[in-house]
Structure 1
Amino acid sequence: MAQKMNTRKPDYSPYVKKFWKYFLMTFGGVLLFFLFASWGLFGSMPSFSELENPESNLATEIISSDGVVIGKFFNENRTPVKYEDLPPHLVKALVATEDERFYEHSGIDGRRTLSASLSLGSRGGASTITQQLAKLLFHGEGSRFLPFRIIQKAKEWIIAIRLERQYTKNEIIAMYFNKVDFINTAVGIRSAAKVYFAKEPKNLTVDESAMLVGMLKNPSLFNPLKREEKVRDRRNVVLKQMEKNHFLTTAQKESFQAKPIKLTFTPEKYNEGTATYFREYLRDYMKSWVKENKKEDGSDYNIYSDGLKIYTTIDSRMQLYAEESVKEHLANLQQEFWSEMKKNKTAPFVNIKQPDIDRIMERSMRNTERWRILSESGKDEEEIKKSFYIKTKMTVFSWKGDKDTLMTPYDSIRYYKHFLQPGMMAMEPQTGDVKVWVGGIDYRYFQYDHVGLGARQVGSTFKPFVYATAIEQLGMSPCDTIIDGPFMIRKGRHNVTEDWEPRNSDHKYRGMVTLKKALALSINTVSAKLIDKTGPDAVIDLVKKLGVNSDIPSQPSIALGAVDMTVKDLVAAFSSFANQGIYLKPQVITKIEDKNGNVIYEPKMESRDVLSKDIAYAVIKLMEGVTESGSGGRLRSQGGGWKYNRVTGYPYVFTNPIAGKTGTTQNQSDGWFVGMVPNLAAGVWVGNEDRSAHFRTLASGQGATMALPIWALFMKKCYNDTSLNVSKESFEKPKDLTIKVDCYTPPSRRANDSISKDSTAVKQEDINNTDEFGL
């Protein structure tokens, strides 16, 4: 009998039940996993408010009066930009390269995620732009440990979905571009555009945009400063992706791919760029400001991360012209100094003995960072000193560019003491707005600010204050005469400890002279006679009212400039004469805004009436004589004079009214010039770091040679830029002027007057012999 066939079907139900059991368990586990992650059980998750206002470490911008960003304070150099300010091709380059389906998904691209999972990442990652933003905003790059990576990936997905719900696609694009790091101090697209191409993002070309997007894959690997060929290849991949996505035609792609990488690298570092000394002055100013100005909640502002906008009075054009003028003149003047020092065995020091040199050098060594670091590490003084005599590789400053060399730290200190340093400030007399601030020649190497910090002896630039006091106290005028002859102030008078007999530098006496001629020729005996009549205290009182903070001894010798002042104080004091006797405290800030554009600070102008309009105008007329026929006469020179003048651009041939005063201190340690036109006052100091280092000859070391040419070069540039509207007009004459300022000279006495039209006219010989010694 045939065996009966078994027709019963296999029972798969246990397997099906197990499948659904495990499926539901897995699904439930995954669901719980994501739920727990969203609740923050695997680590903190951003709140809704955090997603509304994601933390962004924003740089504070320093903005010039003409709207140029001249610097930043930052931990990360990030300045936000709106989507509307991004060029369309930049957005297209990003989408085509990083997330082709960006406008189709809701934060997670399921198709790319599945593809990446099946290929184990060999076909590229699956992170969308939104996921990348989530990573950048809230949890960084993550851990390499697989369980942690899974947890962080889950958090990334959750955050991405929340971002998509909370923001538009355009807002996500803008947030992403504002957050990404392009290295080399460039965080965010605006900084990147400025650092690599010196332009705003909206002005980026297609190939420039493609280069920046290409860097995002790995900024260190695709660093355009180090790997130009790799960067070019990566840029071309981005351009190919743009063609693939129909954002470029084939012809356009090939045209852009053929272009070389052209950078305009402008790093935004604190010690580079323009107005570096001013920015450091402003940093110190802001440190005090944040202590006195709090946020609404009582917390402190952070100038490195709160994204403030500091609107300053500095004019970026004038600042550039000033820095260029300093470089043009001092680069040449420094060569003259090197030439003088060749035969000086104690260079750069002059007329001092070795023990004094040793004291100067040891003091300088103790002030170095090397000494501080070695001292804190426990080294004794002998060990530290020895380290200064060991040759080491270093990069040093030179006017021909940074120079790599082998030198001992001791020799490098002495080398740097050879360099002439400048201090220059310009301000508007009628507003107090500081327009120019040049505190040195290169902040990377010389970090002492010679505008706000460096008080130096002012020499004969102090004399206008003596003359102003005499006009006010004694009722004198520029046309009044006084005898230039031997003069002595006896011991005991005006606190003089021994008989004081000032002499003119050329050992000449000119007899009867007007005050205008006396100031033009900077005659020492006349200044001494005037302060003897007014008393030193009256002069000091005037100077203090004009904003000078220095300690000034109550001695007649101050009439010749034995007074230390900063460039900032001196220029502000002189500006008061151009402002009809009203002193205005120099202003460097017009307003400060928070990151949302709200004005949080506007300074109040500090002013006071110091002199009458008549007296101020009389002093202006006195100082006009200096530039017409005195030590400042080379401003109007048709040529000739010292040979160096031709190198720096003489003749200047200014024809407009200029009030000014030169100054030179003992041994040519300091050279000064302050010059004013009706709407701009500028002062320049030039000298070495140590007063013992200086020119040996008066021809090279006087203020008319060291400082005046910088002022002249600067003013030439300002006049050439008509957008600045720097005045060439006469100073405003007060109505019903009671002080005689126009001194008539008969025609028969004008034989030698080729410049001036009044009795201050002098021979060129007198100009050449003028000396601005303080003592």
Structure 2
Amino acid sequence: MFKEIKNKYLRYSAIFVFFIIIFFSALQLNFLWLFGYSPSTKDIKMPTLRVGSELYTADGKLIGRYFKENRTPVNFNEIAPSVINALVATEDVRFYKHWGVDAQAVGRAVIGLGEKGGASTITQQLAKNLYRTRYNKSQGLLAKVPVVRTVIFKLKEWMTAVKIESNYSKNDIITMYLNTVSFGNNAYGIKTASRIYFDKDAKDLGITDAAMLVGMLKGTTMYNPTKNPERALERRNVVLRQMNKYKYLSNDSLTALSKEPVKLKAGELEDGSDGDSYLRAAVAKYLEKWCTDNGYDLYEDGLKIYTTIDSKLQKYAEEAVAEQMKTLQRRFYSVWGNEDPWYDSEKNKVDYPERAMKNLPVYSMLMKKFSSQPDSVKAYFNKKKRMKIFTYKGDRDTSFSTLDSIRYYGKILNTGMMTMEPASGKIKVWVGGIDHKFFKYDHVNQAKRQAGSTFKPFAYLTALEQGMSPCDKFTDKPVKIKYQDKGETKYWEPKNADYSVTYQDMSLRWAMARSVNTITAQVTEKVGWDNVVKSAHECGIDSHLESVPSVSLGSNDVTVYEMVKAYSTFMNKGVKTDPILVEKITDQDNNVIDEFKPKTKRVLTEEIAWLMTYMFRGGMEEPRGTSQALWEWPDLFKKNNQIGGKTGTSSDYVDAWYMGLTKDLVTGVWVGCDERTAHFKNGEQGEGSRTALPIFAKFMEKVYLDPSSGYSYGPFPKATVEITRSYNCPSPQYVRDTTSVDTAAVDSTQFDVPETADPVNPVTPTEQEVKKEEKKQDPDPAQPVQTVPLTRKEERELKRKQRQEEREKKKNENN
């Protein structure tokens, strides 16, 4: 083919050009896997910038980010001109004249053997950063040959740079470059660097700021102003001189600016955008399968994730948790003093620090190394070292040994709280613990704890499903239940919380409201504990449940997440709704990638669901209902507002719960120590109404007092179907000492429980709703108010109060 060219020089030139074309074609096609990957034209037009994903609340507040490289892209008009000028003057003065490869600079570099500066253009550096032309996966077989490897890298960068120049404007190229480069301190891109080093937007950077950042590009560690301020200052002034040399800066400005010291101001991208949190971790787990199924990388694909969380409600919940948990921790320390709180269910002392130490991976390694020297192992765990520890007054530096740390954190109370809209399935609040920095374990969906009495409603639900009504009565009496355990006959004898019985007939609603163990056990025996387990699973409990006689008293471990989901079924007219944490996901340009809808399934009839909500209201309306500690927060009950709920406390006061229901929201709260052998000493200190309930109360009070929260006062929804069961069966009223009411008074002032007569008005079957009396009616003289005999405990409390009043009366008379 080339023989036809008669001119020798022309023929040789043609052969040279031909082989150049062949070589670059082989280079582009990665012939025989010799050269490695090169970006195609499609790759050039659709570059993949490794941008972290952003996490937003439903109302658009940035609350977290996921990134491997902490960067947020900006547009060209969002970058200060001084940054562009400094970059061009320092890195590539002929940027606006070349076509990606600066032939003049290449020639100068070859002749001067690199001593007069390199020849790499901004476009070539972009090719290297954005398309990873030197990345391991981009290398071919020839990369193992040292000199050849360097030549191939350079040629691939040239090819890529030319492609970039043919597809993008100069402004686009310089913008992409500034969005990709690293400025040290895990700051990628000009926007992130501007905020981290100067607490400014990129468009607000001054000339010295711009010169400082551009100067760092030569060495992000050597010229880092936080690590090497003197070198950073020197390098900044070099950039200023370059700007002066190429007419971007006058002589007077150069003189003045060179004398300015380094001025840094550390900042953050936005509140909540840095660091980790329970919610951030929960969303990452929630989207794990979605990312795999849809081919997205949460940490590199620049997604915008809009959660269902309400920023105001989340703030109020976190405030309520902080207030109450601080009080509870102080109470816990006061109860135990210098005594260790670790005891098993048989009241035997437990050496928790020793057990926890032996469970550490390093313990077994040390025991193997010092098998004949156990004292050396002990010395290792007793050696003091500096560390930061959690306190309610902020992080504290101290000297702790490993055993000191185990002992300290083994006494810390923790919590989990979740709030959900039952109709939409949207999770509005997620508080996984008291401080994610020190306690990574999420107590909403990871920690499983005994549900205590919050599990009782599933027994009463099963009773309703088997044809009973809220008015059906059982007797509070000693119970002995026979059951089979692995072929062996056993007996279970449940006791009430105060270890007494009243021998009184109680309606199902009253018994659930008072949380009477003996009646709950009788109901469970009658309906069958297998059926109670089935009902719980159908409503939304996913954890394995042991089918035993005590199942209704909450002997199984469940999560806060499951309990909120299950209780929401009652408030959603019997439709189980799987909670959703993410509402939608968009790309950087706000194009919707996916939207999330909850899965729903009807599991209860509307009538049964409404009757259950009526039963939950009994906690406030029935005599001695366990939710009546909520009266301490009178703002909760304005405008005829109704609240339902259920307290729960596990054996030995290890776990405390409160499940709160309003017309719009269902909230679950758990409180306890991560170490199960640590607990309060008695119910006055550690039961659900005194630990978890106040968190719900304080949270809802903040919500109601904020008109802009979107959640208002109001009664529970009316029944939308005919209620065929009898339910209007008022319980007899107590005449009692109000200080003995289940209340949070241990932490605050005493309060009075408003006297309630008949909590509901008689209704006709067509009314389909129970209305609370706004004003107590005067009793008919011919029909005295029915009273119930006091328990021994109540009699003692009444006598004690009477004696105290007599002493105070005599004292006043003497004065």
TM category, shorter = 0.7 to 0.9
Which residue does the alignment assign to 2:122? 129
Report the CA distance shift for 1:93/1:533 in structure 2 as closer, same or farther (over 3 A).
farther
1:488 aligns with 2:488: no
Aligned-partner Cα distance in 2 for 1:141–1:34: 25
Q: Counterparts of 1:381 and 1:618 in 2: how far apart (Å)?
A: 67
Cα distance in 2 for partners of 1:135, 1:386 equals 53
- Preserved contact between residue 239 and residue 257 of structure 1 (Cα < 8 Å): no
Partner of 2:323: 328
Secondary structure of 1:498 counterpart: strand
1:197 is displaced (CA, Å) by 7.3
Shift of 1:229: 7.8
Provide the aligned C-alpha RMSD in A. Answer: 5.1
Q: Match of 2:265?
A: 262
- For residue 357 of structure 1, the aligned residue among 351, 354, 363 is 351
Aligned to 2:169: 168
Instruction: Work out the CA distance in 2 between the residues paired with 1:572 and 1:725.
Output: 21
* Cα deviation code 1:168-218 (max 9, x no counterpart): 122212211221123333323454466567887678788876765554343
Cα gap change, 1:416 to 1:744, in 2 (>3 Å): closer
CA distance in 2, matches of 1:683, 1:126: 64
- Check conservation: 1:130, 1:164, Cα contact below 8 A: yes
Q: Which residue does the alignment assign to 1:539?
A: 532
Q: Against the structure 1 CA distance between its residues 692 and 759, is the aligned structure 2 distance closer, same or farther, given a 3 Å change threshold?
A: farther
Alpha carbons of structure 1 residues 490 and 108: separation in structure 2 relative to 1, 3 Å: closer
Q: Is the 8 A contact 2:243 2:249 kept in 1?
A: yes
CA distance in 2, matches of 1:266, 1:416: 33
**Correspondence for 2:630 among 629, 635, 644:** 635
- Alignment partner of 2:491: what SS? coil
**Aligned partner letter, 2:264:** I
Please, which of 652, 655, 658 is the counterpart of residue 667 of structure 1? 652
Per-residue deviation at 1:572? 0.5
Q: After superposing the two structures, state which structure 1 stretch, 279-288 or 190-199, moved more.
A: 190-199
Give deviations 1:226-267, integer Å, cap 9, x for gaps: 56787688778878988963799979x989979953322469
Gap regions ≥5 residues in structure 2: 1-11, 137-142, 739-751, 760-775, 777-786, 795-815
Give, in angstroms, the shift of residue 457 of structure 1.
0.7
Task: Give the CA deviation at 1:531.
Answer: 2.6
Note the C-alpha offset of 1:512.
4.7
- Aligned position for 1:447: 440
What is the deviation of 1:428?
Answer: 1.4
Q: Which structure 2 residues correspond to residues 431-442 of structure 1 after superposition, within 5 A?
A: 431-442=424-435
Q: Structure 1, residues 585-606: CA drift from partner, whole Å, max 9, x if none?
A: 1122334456787766545532
Q: Could you tell me which residue of structure 1 aligns to residue 521 of structure 2?
A: 528
**One-letter code aligned to 1:263:** A
Aligned pairs, number: 719
SS at 1:218's partner residue? coil
Between the aligned partners of 2:665 and 2:48, the Cα distance in structure 1 is: 44
Distance 1:407 1:742, change over 3 A: same
Q: 1:524 to 1:165 in 2, by over 3 A?
A: same
Q: Are the counterparts in 2 of residues 313 and 588 from structure 1 also a CA contact under 8 Å?
A: yes
Verify the 8 A CA contact 1:228 1:261 in the aligned structure 2. no
- Confirm or deny that 1:704 pairs with 2:699: no
SS at match of 2:672: strand
Matched AA of 1:690: E
User: CA separation of 1:249/1:157 partners in 2, compared to 1, >3 Å: closer, same or farther?
Assistant: farther
Amino acid at match of 1:331: K
Equivalence map 1:182-261=2 (5 Å): 182-192=183-193, 212-213=213-214, 215-223=216-224, 225-226=226-227, 245=248, 260-261=263-264
2:806 counterpart residue number: none
Within the candidate set 663, 668, 677, 1:683 is matched to 668
Give 2:381's aligned residue. 389
How far residue 223 of structure 1 moved from its aligned partner, in angstroms, is: 4.1
Alpha-carbon deviations, 1:417-462, whole Å to 9, x = none?
Answer: 1111211112111111222222223334323222112111111111
Q: Compared with structure 1, are the counterparts of its residues 141 and 356 closer, same or farther at alpha carbon in structure 2 (3 Å cutoff)?
A: closer
Task: For 2:599 and 2:372, locate their aligned partners in 1 and report how far apart those are by CA, in whole Å.
Answer: 49
Q: Secondary structure at the match of 2:351?
A: helix
The structure-2 alpha-carbon separation of the partners of 1:425 and 1:415, relative to structure 1 and needing over 3 Å to count, comes to: same
Distance 1:509 1:68, change over 3 A: same
Change (3 A) 1:409 1:139: same
Matching residue of 1:464? 457
1:220 maps to a residue whose letter is T
Alpha-carbon separation, structure 1, partners of 2:174 and 2:303? 23
Contact 1:329 1:710 in 2 (8 A): yes
Partners in 2 of 1:511 and 1:218 — Cα distance? 82
Residues in 1 aligned to 2:490 and 2:360: alpha-carbon distance in whole angstroms: 40
Residue 328 of structure 2 aligns with an amino acid whose one-letter code is L
Classify the secondary structure of the residue corresponding to 1:264. Answer: coil
Q: Name the SS of the counterpart of 1:474 in structure 2.
A: coil
Of all paired residues, the percent bearing the same amino acid is 37
Pick closer, same or farther for the CA change 1:47–1:556 going to 2, 3 Å: closer
Q: Supply the distance in 2 between the matched residues of 1:146 and 1:595 (Cα, whole angstroms).
A: 41
Q: Name the residue aligned to 2:400.
A: 407
Q: Which ranges in structure 1 are unaligned for 5 or more consecutive residues?
A: 1-24, 295-299, 639-650, 770-775
Which range is displaced more, 503-512 or 683-692?
Answer: 503-512
C-alpha contact 1:134 1:159 (8 A) present in aligned 2: yes
Deviations, residues 126-152 of structure 1 (Å, cap 9, x unaligned) = 654324323424456999x99987876
Determine the structure 2 residue equivalent to 1:313: 308
User: Given the two structures, how large is their TM-score scaled by the length of structure 2?
Assistant: 0.73
Secondary structure at the residue paired with 2:716?
coil
* Residue 398 (structure 1) aligns with: 390
Task: State the one-letter code of the partner of 1:726.
Answer: Y
1:692 maps to which of 673, 677, 685:
677
Match of 1:643 in 2: none
**Counterpart code for 1:489:** K
Q: Summarize the alignment of residues 272-311 of structure 1 with structure 2, pairs less than 5 Å apart.
A: 273=275, 276-290=277-291, 293=293, 301-311=296-306
CA contact (8 A) 1:37 1:151 kept: no
Q: Would the aligned equivalents of 2:656 and 2:672 in 1 still touch at CA under 8 Å?
A: yes
Counterpart of 1:509 in 2: which secondary structure? coil
For 2:518 and 2:205, locate their aligned partners in 1 and report how far apart those are by CA, in whole Å.
Answer: 65
User: Which residue identity is paired with 2:426?
Assistant: D
Q: Is the 8 A contact 1:242 1:248 kept in 2?
A: no
Shift in CA distance, 529/92, structure 1 to aligned 2, threshold 3 Å: farther
Distance 1:230 1:428, change over 3 A: farther
* Residue in structure 2 matched with residue 16 of structure 1 by the alignment: none
